[in-house]
Amino acid sequence: MEKDILTCTRTGDSCIHVKHRSGLDIYICEMNGFSSIEAQFGTKYGSINTVFKTSSDSGYTCVPEGIAHFLEHKLFENEDCKVFELYAQTGASCNAMTSFDRTCYFFSCSKNYEENLRILLKFVQEPYFTKENVDKEMGIIGQEIKMTNDNPEWRVFFNMLGCMYHAHPVKTDIAGTAESIAKIDADLLYKCYDTFYNLNNMVLSIAGNISADKVLEICDECLHPCADKGLECVFPDEPDSIVRPEIRETQPVGASIFNLGCKCSSSAGLERLRAVTAASVASSLLTDPALPMCEKLLKDGIINSTFGGEVFYGSGYFTLIFSGESDFPELVREALFSEIDRLLTEGINEKDFQRIKKSSYGALVTELNNVEAVTNLMLSSYIDGISPYDTIEVISALTSADVMDFMRRELRRDRAVLSIIEKEK
């Protein structure tokens, strides 16, 4: 079992990668002098992974929407006790999250990291599902689904995805629906657990005031070796076109909100990272309050300080989203595409580009001195199929021509969806 030292040539920062004999990928960053420790134990399993097979399966298995999130909830309750009680005894905080493409279990502490790591590795490897505890969880998650459906920010986002994607499961709520989770039982949970919680499909990321040798010693003690199952996930064919360009809904909100999403081409690995980096800089150029377009929209009361952009991506989906509060979202849409047309005609101001690029680079370097950010970076890099320091290299090499090329290819009016939650009149 060899330690592979991964180093950022531009900053000198480094971390350790080990392919453990159990099959698990392990990333360790020793950050001496820091008081905190963060660890994440994750699997490449999220809400979009509803159709899959292993090398031993004769055909594909299709499972109900929301089962990845349901499984995450149930792992916190084993046969002997609840995991939160174990962490309460060590003084650590713990939690978990399921997103579209991953499920992660994590803890944060300032001491006792060895015991906390043992708890993390053990409970994630010890599922306990029964008809009784599954039925009990059904009601809890049903209430969670109802609460998110009443959340305006959640609704405006998923309404946008529903108008953007014809078939891709990213358009479905991470927790599923009341109807879909009703189909979940203990056998299905064990099937998904055995498939996706195979250590060859998982990663451990840990950073802070730790010893790499001690972490690996605990991994040797706690990890159960398993054979690679040859997991394959498939997604339905997704056309480049959108379903419809606009959707509106009325809710009792204090201010109308909107999401304006541009459906972009999907990719993977370093190619996707380059697209994400170009999209992020393009977003900043279009939402910077110091630049003329936003300055005018702010002055005219079309937008306020909530206006911003983000890149949303994963396996088979990629969207640049602009969002905020506005009573005039159609004017925001028109202003954005007019500004895109202007930039493509006149070119990007090199001074503005360099300022935003340096700011992005500086933010990345700053995060290397944050324990939680480093832990997130190592885990996300594994999920995305890249190296932890690739983002710094890619932003360093980015040019204004790269951003122009992305905007020309991807920020198109015919692939834009405007989702609006209007306040009641």
**Residues assigned a catalytic role:** 72
User: What are phi and psi for residue 322, nearest 5 degrees?
Assistant: -110, 135
Say if residues 125 and 53 touch (Cβ distance below 8 Å): no
Say if residues 177 and 65 touch (Cβ distance below 8 Å): yes
Provide the sign of the torsion angle of the four alpha carbons 66, 67, 68, 74, taken in this order. positive
Distance CA 322, CA 262 (A): 9
Distance CA 16, CA 29 (A): 6
The residues, any chain, with a CB within 8 Å of residue 254's CB and separated by 6 or more, are 423
Say if residues 246 and 65 touch (Cβ distance below 8 Å): no
For tokens 């606009």, the residue is 246
Burial (0-12, 13-18, 19+ Cβ within 10 Å), 79: exposed
User: What are phi and psi for residue 341, nearest 5 degrees?
Assistant: -60, -40
Say if residues 318 and 280 touch (Cβ distance below 8 Å): no
Q: Taking Cα atoms as reference points, which of 169, 229, 224, 225 lies closest to residue 195?
A: 229
Say if residues 22 and 209 touch (Cβ distance below 8 Å): no
Helix, strand, coil % in the chain, rounded to nearest 5: 45, 20, 35
Burial (0-12, 13-18, 19+ Cβ within 10 Å), 68: buried
Say if residues 38 and 108 touch (Cβ distance below 8 Å): yes
Burial (0-12, 13-18, 19+ Cβ within 10 Å), 237: exposed
Q: What is the DSSP string of 23-65?
A: S-EEEEEE-TT---EEEEEEES--TT--EEE-TT-SS-EE--T
Say if residues 134 and 74 touch (Cβ distance below 8 Å): yes
